Amino acid sequence: SLSDRLGGVFDRLRGRGALTEADVRGAMREVRIALLEADVALPVARAFVDKVTEAAVGQNVLRSVTPGQQVVKIVNDALVEMLGSDSADLDIDVTPPAVVMMVGLQGSGKTTTTAKLSRLVKKRGKKVLMASLDVNRPAAQEQLAVLGTQAEVATLPIVQGQQPVDIARRALQSAKLQGFDVVMLDTAGRLHVDQALMDEMKAVADIAKPNEILLVVDSLTGQDAVNVATNFSQQVPLTGVVLTRMDGDARGGAALSMRAVTGKPIKFAGVGEKLDAIEPFHPSRVAGRILGMGDVVSLVERAAEAIQADDAEKMASRLAKGQFDMNDLRSQLAQMRRMGGLGALAGMIPGMKKAQAAMAASNMDDRILLRMDAMIGSMTVKERARPELLNAKRKIRVAKGSGTTVQDVNKLLKMHQEMATAMKRIKKMGGIKGLAAMLG
């Protein structure tokens, strides 16, 4: 993945005392290849690399004390800037009804996203009406109606035989008559961009005068997504982008291209099939993922939902200091159980992948979480705070006390070591500055 590639590149840079210019150029070549492999559009990758190279040279990285860190920071800043430096919200605080129109290819997630966003907006106290203008696909309008029932959001009654423009007109009329604040228009997609689709969209936009036209793009579609974005943004005045399937593997690449090609903010990220699986798009988080720092902010936020706020703050400030002892591991294990087991945290902490691979290799499953908890329970207070105290004799005692083996204890210590190293790495890279403040 892009994260792994860039992580590898910078890990190598980080190990150096001093960088030669060839190192920087070499690293940037790899960055470019990694971006291309992650389906970032060629011109976007080129522009990005040029920008970063220029910034690196300008800042005299070659003579700095910690060149690797400096390059990582420059790349990070460039990524955040390119992704859009702030998270953007829906622009719907207008004289009602505000109109939000979703456009995009078939299967990109328009209908799902329409329901997700409607649910969000409704939760903020607005009266929302959804309408499906998809008369191409059989049962498309019913699909939205079903989602409406699930999301407890009103949908426009279906009238067979109406054209999209007529449905849009009817939706606006109903909204005005019944006092809806927001009308969400879900449009039809096509397998490929074609003129009939574009004409239909333009006609609807003329009638509905949307406050928002959101392009919904599947983040897994790669290079093709860039062509789609180019086409749509040339034909309709987009106001933003929603990237779906960000719960999948392709993180970062599509986001980078979308932003560069459309020039519009990525407003939301779809992170699953369920109706609550949508998040505001956070450029700094995605940049962090791309750089292989893991998504520490998301991790802590999710942990905060599962544990008490006090604990979360304590954990955040410990993480910020790069501290991670057996007590921290123990509360992490408890959270893992609460947050749905080992799989749920994959990729969220740098170094976790390694730790998980180690566990997978030894045929461990989620039951291991309970056994690890038992092992930590058998340690003394001192041992928990300073695991390096665990010599052979103490390990035998812990194994006996927890009904495990010394081998198991060693595996636990190895996992702790991986995670502690990861925490130190985050700290060094300054990746979670302001984390505690964000939680408070």
Footprint of ligand GDP on this chain (CB under 6 A)? 104, 106-112, 189, 244-245, 247, 270-273, 277
CB of 151 to Mg ion, least distance (A): 15
Q: Taking contact as CB under 5 A, which single stretch among the options 102-110, 118-126, 202-210, 378-386 is the one that binds Mg ion?
A: 102-110
Residue 397 burial (C-beta neighbours within 10 Å; 0-12, 13-18, 19+): middle
Six token digits for residue 177: 């008559």
Q: Please, which residue, 247 or 305, has the CB nearer to ligand GDP?
A: 247
Judged by beta carbon distances under 5 to 8 A according to partner kind, the member of Mg ion, ligand GDP, none in contact with residue 351 is none
Q: Taking contact as CB under 5 A, which single stretch among the options 54-62, 103-111, 283-291, 351-359 is the one that binds Mg ion?
A: 103-111
Whether residue 95 is annotated as binding a ligand: the answer is no
CB of 216 to ligand GDP, least distance (A): 6
CB of 200 to Mg ion, least distance (A): 14
Judged by beta carbon distances under 5 to 8 A according to partner kind, the member of ligand GDP, Mg ion, none in contact with residue 112 is ligand GDP
Six token digits for residue 110: 């328009």
Q: Is 112 in the site for Mg ion (CB under 5 A)?
A: no
Judged by beta carbon distances under 5 to 8 A according to partner kind, the member of Mg ion, ligand GDP, none in contact with residue 244 is ligand GDP
Whether residue 235 is annotated as binding a ligand: the answer is no
Whether residue 107 is annotated as binding a ligand: the answer is yes
Give the rounded distance of the alpha carbon of 306 from its chain centre.
Answer: 19
CB of 297 to ligand GDP, least distance (A): 19
Judged by beta carbon distances under 5 to 8 A according to partner kind, the member of Mg ion, ligand GDP, none in contact with residue 302 is none
Q: Please, which residue, 104 or 350, has the CB nearer to ligand GDP?
A: 104
Judged by beta carbon distances under 5 to 8 A according to partner kind, the member of ligand GDP, Mg ion, none in contact with residue 83 is none
Q: Is 141 in the site for Mg ion (CB under 5 A)?
A: no
Whether residue 190 is annotated as binding a ligand: the answer is yes
Angle (nearest 5°) at CA 359 between 358 and 362: 90
CB of 104 to ligand GDP, least distance (A): 6
Q: Which residue type sits at 174?
A: S
CB of 293 to ligand GDP, least distance (A): 23
CB of 154 to ligand GDP, least distance (A): 18
Whether residue 104 is annotated as binding a ligand: the answer is yes
CB of 286 to ligand GDP, least distance (A): 15
Q: Please, which residue, 11 or 247, has the CB nearer to ligand GDP?
A: 247
Judged by beta carbon distances under 5 to 8 A according to partner kind, the member of ligand GDP, Mg ion, none in contact with residue 271 is ligand GDP
Q: Out of 111, 219, 221, 262, name the contact with Mg ion by CB under 5 A.
A: 111
Whether residue 423 is annotated as binding a ligand: the answer is no
CB-based closest residue to Mg ion: 111
What is the spatial distance between Cα 255 and Cα 48, in angstroms, rounded to a whole number?
A: 13
Q: Taking contact as CB under 5 A, which single stretch among the options 85-93, 111-119, 337-345, 363-371 is the one that binds Mg ion?
A: 111-119
| Number of other residues whose CB lies within 10 A of the CB of residue 176 | 12
Neighbouring residues of 349: CB distance < 8 A, sequence distance ≥ 6: 294, 296, 299, 419, 422
Q: Closest Cα partner for 118 from 237, 265, 258, 242?
A: 242
Binding residues: 104-111, 186-190, 244-247
Query: Which residues of the chain form contacts with Mg ion (CB under 5 A)?
Result: 110-111
Q: Per the annotation, where are the binding residues for GTP?
A: 104-111, 186-190, 244-247
